[in-house]
Amino acid sequence: ETGVTQTPRHLVMGMTNKKSLKCEQHLGHNAMYWYKQSAKKPLELMFVYSLEERVENNSVPSRFSPECPNSSHLFLHLHTLQPEDSALYLCASSPTHMVGGYGYTFGSGTRLTVV
Amino acid sequence: DQQVKQNSPSLSVQEGRISILNCDYTNSMFDYFLWYKKYPAEGPTFLISISSIKDKNEDGRFTVFLNKSAKHLSLHIVPSQPGDSAVYFCAASGGGGTSYGKLTFGQGTILTVHP
């Protein structure tokens, strides 16, 4: 497989559930990101990892917990979410954290619905 | 405070004509500007970027223009094709402060190209 792969593509969870989103990149990139896209809003940066170290947490509530066990894998652990957390969650990677003009490679996203 | 804005939610164009997508920004410290395209059920894909020291960058049918004094950029697609129908996001990198690896996105513009 090539590119950035996210699983699952769709997820419905109750407010008391615990679930995890998975992201895997096969590009040899050293930086990985979680973004959230809510309806009618711009993409919002949640977390940045560079060489498996979290370098930015963009004021995200603690019910979202990222994990980066190696430079190819990124997880987003979810627990006690709220209905307003329903959104498209996008994973992305870039060669380094210095994004510059090369931008990111995005996965297809996980459409999360909290009921 | 939204630093990157796309004020037109949608644009409709006839096949073969020019599509012009606009983007405004407020942070003069952005160092690169990027355009992404997104089809339904897919992640955004990188289209073209421009450095803040340039005023034009061209790649095939796509040209991005940057007007730094007006803090405005635009994406021109000539000629437009039905396959160009998608959501287009403007993004900016850099920006000073805690901008580690961060891209700041606009809200997106839905482009529809009619045959």
For residue B34, list chain A residues with Cβ-Cβ distance below 8 A. Answer: 101, 103
| Predicted confidence (pLDDT) per residue in B68-79, tens digit | 999 999 999 999
Tokens 């430079």 correspond to what residue?
A: A71
Encoded tokens for A89: 């969650």
Amino acid, single-letter form, for residue A109: G
Q: What is the pLDDT along chain A (115 residues), one digit of tens a residue?
A: 569 999 999 999 998 889 999 999 999 998 999 999 998 788 999 998 887 777 777 789 999 999 999 989 999 999 999 999 999 999 999 987 777 777 889 999 999 999 9
Q: How far is CA A108 from CA A6, A79, A98, in A?
A: 6, 22, 22
Under an 8 A CB cutoff, do B103 and A97 touch? Answer: no
For residue A56, list chain B residues with Cβ-Cβ distance below 8 A. Answer: 98, 100-102
Tokens 């699952």 correspond to what residue?
A: A8
Mutate to test the interface with B, among A97, A102, A104, A111 (most CBs of B within 10 A): A104
Residue A99, C-beta contacts closer than 8 angstroms, at least 6 positions apart:
A31, B32, B93, B101, B102, B103
Encoded tokens for B18: 């020019």
Mutate to test the interface with B, among A4, A27, A43, A51 (most CBs of B within 10 A): A43
The pLDDT assigned to B6 comes to 96
The Cα–Cα gap between B93 and A4 comes to 21
